[in-house]
Structure 1
Amino acid sequence: MFPTIEAEVDAKGQIRPKEPFALPPGSRLLITVLESDGAEPALLSETALAADWERPEEAAAWSHLSPG
């Protein structure tokens, strides 16, 4: 399994891991830069909330707001 390591970029542009870790020489990395707009928690919860949103009871409760 591949570890996920959380890090931030400091004022000098250096990547600073939030927790110490060690990698053997020659390790290969893929770095994903995340947007910092605060929308990530909403996107992560969308799938979990969809189970509630897509129930027939919810559709009926909000039907008066749907066009036509």
Structure 2
Amino acid sequence: MLHKDFDLGLSAARELEVPMPLATTAQLIAAAIGAGHLEEDFASLILEQARNSGITRKAQNMAVDDALSPQT
């Protein structure tokens, strides 16, 4: 759906002849889809950009508080 929304936005920008600085992001979305990130959220864009940049991600195995649990 994100890809569709970017396509609609870029199309409108072309019709109105206004700059659309998000064109690079639209390309990143297309690359993420091509890499198989079809059912994932926008965080997959970070993964795809890291892969494109030659960055190897390494898990830090850190606990992350979701801020939803009651404080003790």
**Normalised TM-score (structure 1):** 0.24
Say which structure is richer in helix: 2
**Normalised TM-score (structure 2):** 0.24
Relative contact order (C-alpha < 8 Å, sep 6+): which is higher? 2
Say which structure is richer in strand: 1
* Max Rg structure: 1
